[in-house]
Amino acid sequence: MSTITVTLPDGSELEVEEGATVEDVAYEIGPGLGRDTVAGKLDGDLVAKEEEAYDGAAVEIVTEDSEAYLDVLRHSAAHVFGQALQRLYPEAKLAIGPSTDDGFYYDVANVDLDEDDLADIEAECHDIIDADYDIERVEVPREEALEAYEDNPYKQEILQDEAAGEDPVTFYEQDDWRDLCQGPHVDSTGEIGGFTLLEVSGAYWRGDEENDMLTRVYGTAFPTEEELEQFLDMREEAKERDHRKLGRELDLFSIPEVTGPGLPLYHPNGKTVLQELEDYVNDLNRDAGYDQVETPHVFRTELWKQSGHYENYKDDMFLLDVNEEEYGLKPMNCPGHATIFDQDTWSYRELPVRYFENGKVYRKEQRGELSGLSRVWAFTIDDGHLFCRPDQIEAEVTQIMDMIFEVIENFDLDVEVALATRPEKSVGSDEIWEQAESQLRDVLEDGGYEYDVEEGDGAFYGPKIDFGFEDALGRVWDGPTVQLDFNMPERFDLSYVGSDNEEHRPVMIHRALYGSYERFFMVLIEHFDGKFPLWLAPEQVRVLPISDDNLPYAKRVAGELSSKGFRAEVEERDWTIGKKIQQTHEDRVPYMVVVGGDEEESMTISVRDRKEREASDVEREDFYSHLEDERDEKRTEPDFLAE
């Protein structure tokens, strides 16, 4: 019997018989692990435990204690929904039902569902869970599968595309119901401890607006009811913090239908926050030796063909014809920066050359994928590109990572770090990619950073280090990035003169400290629940006169604050002081200054903060001095009245 060799997570190698499944590998490691096996990973891909391993594969065994177990459980929960739906609506046609970060969804057709229908479907789902049906993988001849789905064009398409050439194909059965599926799944429906359906929406088949509009039902599942309850509590908190809701309430931004989808308008309050963010990152860039540049919003597509974007990004670009020439709105800033570098002759002594630009870019996302500021058509990247010698790579990447961590700590955000490797759709030789990935890995390991490896998630032109921001609710959002690029310098024929008087190819590094302003703004709105730190707050201090008689003194205080660079307003509406205080709290202003006859007589102020702490007989200059320190040090919470 011939054998194969697989690699285990600890780096050790294991020899098993050819044809051995993931479960067989687990039993080779130990009988206990074999019995506990739920699924596995082959080279990072989640697969059923019945999947055959192959020579050289990296094998990871998934048990109930694995992070991936929740994905398997939720995939099975999607099948529970599918079975329940077809019990109640036999005419329903199922499309796809994957797990997601928050649960699962199933796209369905030929049935009209709304939120009112979910309770009955969920009750049927719970009956299926309580019945604890075995979930079994079965193989079905291809022709039989095609016949079974002769009236379901979506499953037919899956058979022709994802399952092309497979015979037999795999189904999963529970009770008298089955679904075309590669798995993996848990062993029985009863393993789902907590289950609920969440909402109904529409979704185009395959995410393509030219395809059928399907009904998408979202749900979630957990091993226990307690975990489900925790999730639902956090979901309610997330609704309260939703940046779209707070954006309206705090008058930060809008995305009206008349302007077009994914094209946000920033109101004065929102632009104030964005300007503070821009000023902050501009200072970081200048201190690190970057020079600011600016590039236009549109270029001839010859530039995008030279950079490789036209070939790899054409479907996501906004293209237009001008005088019989094709132009494209820029999806990235890097080709413009490479072209600026190419306008001069550089010596090795002048490298690295560092450029930065807060550059607006445009990407034609599917309308169904647009969501507030998290995914838009037009967004601004705090972009930086630098050109360096190969021997400068480690120092430059290390400096960038120091800048990124300064940003992260400044906003009190936790972060996840990952090395993203070569994607299937890419440019450049194997040798270049191996060199680039190796150098980024060395920086991470030399710096002692904890990181995950995201196989195939690199940019088409090079590998990258990605950072994910974790907000106050534990959610992770895409953020900063560092990308090593050996390909664009080649495509643009960039060079510098070395110490040997010969031309050499520089290395290009792409980086962003926020990622995009739009998504970072969204993260901050939700992370701080709209309660921005003093230095970011659109309105930093509101002065509240107790009566109209105190209005001149209130204006004097506000004027003194404004002269020191603070954004201060006087509340002049004819309201009671109680209502003025309440409204200021609702507007999430960090500080309010209350002035009445006593304050005016003593030339002092009373101070309240948004945590409802207060102090009277405060000397104005003491308050102003503290505000300057709090602002300049970019503290995350008002602390003048801290105990």
pLDDT higher than threshold 80 for residue 471? no
Between 411-420, 546-555, 616-625, the lowest mean confidence (pLDDT) is in 411-420
DSSP 321: E
What is the per-residue pLDDT for 643? Answer: 58
If you average pLDDT over every residue of the chain, what do you get?
A: 93
What is the per-residue pLDDT for 477? Answer: 83
If we measure between CA atoms, which residue out of 366, 81, 123, 370 comes closest to residue 217? 81
C-alpha distances in angstroms, 350 versus 386, 389, 392, 493, 494?
A: 12, 10, 12, 18, 14
Confidence of residue 264 (pLDDT cuts 50, 70, 90): very high
- Burial of residue 221 (CB within 10 Å: 0-12, 13-18, 19+) is buried
Answer for the pair 532, 631: CB distance below 8 angstroms, yes or no.
Answer: no
- For residue 204, give every residue at least 6 positions away whose Cβ sits within 8 Å of its Cβ, in sequence order, or none: 210, 211, 212, 213, 214, 366, 368
- Among 503, 527, 551, give the residue marking a domain's end: 527
- Is 385 annotated as ligand-binding? yes
Question: How far does the chain reach from its first CA to its final CA, in angstroms?
Answer: 74
pLDDT higher than threshold 80 for residue 356? yes
If asked whether residues 39 and 122 sit together in one domain, one would say: no
If we measure between CA atoms, which residue out of 197, 244, 201 comes closest to residue 102? 197
- Among 62, 79, 110, give the residue marking a domain's end: 62
pLDDT average, residue stretch 291-299 = 96
If asked whether residues 76 and 53 sit together in one domain, one would say: no
If asked whether residues 182 and 108 sit together in one domain, one would say: yes
Tokens for 279, please give them.
Answer: 């000023």
Q: What is the pairing mode between strands 104-109 and 605-609?
A: unpaired
Tokens for 209, please give them.
Answer: 């607006």
Backbone angles phi, psi at 566, to 5 degrees: -95, 150
Answer for the pair 45, 60: CB distance below 8 angstroms, yes or no.
Answer: no
Assigned domain for 330 exists: no
Higher pLDDT, 32 or 641: 32
d(CA 155, CA 57): 30
d(CA 472, CA 414): 9
C-alpha distances in angstroms, 621 versus 209, 561, 599, 605?
A: 60, 10, 14, 10
Higher pLDDT, 476 or 533: 533
Higher pLDDT, 470 or 598: 598
Between 420-429, 435-444, 499-508, 600-609, the lowest mean confidence (pLDDT) is in 420-429
Tokens for 512, please give them.
Answer: 């962003």
User: Residue 352 is part of which domain span?
Assistant: 266-296+346-365+382-527
Hey, CA dihedral for 177, 183, 468, 261, is it positive or negative?
Answer: negative
CA 625, 627, 631: angle at the middle one, nearest 5? 125
If asked whether residues 470 and 552 sit together in one domain, one would say: no
What is the per-residue pLDDT for 97? Answer: 93
pLDDT higher than threshold 70 for residue 195? yes
Confidence of residue 368 (pLDDT cuts 50, 70, 90): low
Assigned domain for 340 exists: no
Between 51-60, 296-305, 445-454, 588-597, the lowest mean confidence (pLDDT) is in 445-454
Between 18-22, 192-196, 477-481, the lowest mean confidence (pLDDT) is in 477-481
If asked whether residues 146 and 182 sit together in one domain, one would say: yes
Tokens for 392, please give them.
Answer: 């400068």
Answer for the pair 378, 329: CB distance below 8 angstroms, yes or no.
Answer: no
pLDDT average, residue stretch 380-394 = 93
- Count Cβ neighbours within 10 Å for each residue of 244-266 and write b for 16 or more, e otherwise: bebbeebebbebeeeeeebebeb
User: pTM value?
Assistant: 0.82
Percent of the chain whose predicted confidence (pLDDT) is above 90? 78
Q: How many domains does the chain have?
A: 4
If asked whether residues 85 and 45 sit together in one domain, one would say: no
d(CA 627, CA 381): 30
If asked whether residues 430 and 446 sit together in one domain, one would say: yes
Whichever domain contains 15, its CATH number is 3.10.20.30
Confidence of residue 1 (pLDDT cuts 50, 70, 90): low
